Amino acid sequence: MSAEPLPPALAVVARGSAGRRIGAMFMRHWFLLRGSWPRILELIYWPTIQMVLWGFITLHFQQNSSWVAQAAGVLISGVLLWDILFRGQLGFTISFLEELYSRNLGQLFVTPIRPWELIVALMGASLVRVGIGSFSAALLATFIFGYSIFDLGLSLAAFFLNLMMFGWAVGIAVIAVLLRTGLGGESLAWLVIFLVAPVSAIYFPVEALPDWIEWLTWCLPPAYVFEGMRSVLFGHGFRWDWLLGATLLNLACMAAATALFVWSFEVARRQGLLLRTGE
């Protein structure tokens, strides 16, 4: 089945580009953030409260724990890096939830934007959210406790990238579910990342976990990052093997999450869920 050739007025060549569409979606979230001070306050609030809480715990343990005393920043670094992971995932999924709250998803999916472009834009939005929240908390840690996570140097960039990748992978999986459930699955966006918290070795080494759960910990990228962080802080140097392990696992997680998203999108198209994404 094929229509006749189109007249020049109708046979317009593709006018947009992937970069412009991604930029447009990124701008959409930037407009939202800059016009809403409660959203910005919320981004800064929790990372700061967490950092202050763990800062005081650190002060206490420095006098009562030889392990913490060896590396004063081990707990604060843990909490700040965990916050990058948590905020990275949350920033990604909340940006998607904003489309559900505003009943805008149906409009978006009839524009030329491809699903992968939307995902890249959501990654950008989550970077901005993490930047505002975690960067503010990290700066405050310097002033309040005299500890700067930036002393981790270039290794911080490697940790940051890997934690963001894992946050995005979890975020993509969550929005795949949200495509099916609509706002009924909203709480997943807030809760799901905490499933991996106990087995990510954020505040303690992997060896502190029971033997039967250690294998699961090494299946998850965050454990490599937090062990790597401790290695640097305790003066054992940067572990390239752990960086490689985290990166490979992250790539596998992102591939699996993307496959889930693509499948969910097609199911949503079959079931007519893209126009009706409320509760």
Partner 1 sequence: MQVVKVDRLSKRYGEVVAVDGISFTVEAGTCVGLLGGNGAGKTTTIAMMLGLLLPTAGSVEVLGADMSRQRWRVLDRMNFSSPYVELPNRLTVRENLTVYGDLYGVADVPDRIARLARDLDLEVFVDRPVGRLSAGEKTRVALAKALLNEPAVLLLDEPTASIDPDTADRLRSYLELFRRETGAAIVLASHNMSEVERLCDEVLMLRVGKLVDRGVPAELVTRYGRRNLEEVFLDIARDRRREAAE
Q: List contacts with partner 1 (CB under 8 A).
A: 1-4, 6-7, 9-10, 12, 14-17, 20-21, 23-25, 27-28, 31-32, 35-36, 98-99, 102-114, 266, 269-272, 274-276
Separation between Cα atoms, residue 126 and residue 36, nearest integer Å: 16
Q: Is residue 28 packed enough to be buried (19+ CB in 10 Å), middle (13-18) or exposed (0-12)?
A: middle
DSSP 183-197: GGGHHHHHHGGGGTG
**Closest to partner 1 by CB, 234 or 263:** 263
Cα gap 118→88, rounded to integer Å: 16
Tokens of 233: 């802080």
- Distance of closest approach, residue 9 Cβ to partner 1, in angstroms: 6
Distance of CA 94 to the CA centre of its chain: 10
Name the DSSP letter for residue 35: T
Amino acid at 87: R
Closest to partner 1 by CB, 151 or 266: 266
- Give the Cα separation of 178 and 190 in Å (integer): 12
For the bound state, the minimum distance from the C-beta of residue 27 to partner 1, rounded and expressed in Å, comes to 6
d(CA 175, CA 94): 9
User: What angle is formed at CA 191 by the lines to CA 186 and CA 194, rounded to 5 degrees?
Assistant: 160
CB of 192 to partner 1, least distance (A): 25
Nearest-approach distance from CB 180 to partner 1, in angstroms? 15
- Residue 79's nearest CA partner among 238, 204, 189 is 204
Amino acid at 191: L
Nearer to partner 1, 25 or 176 (CB): 25
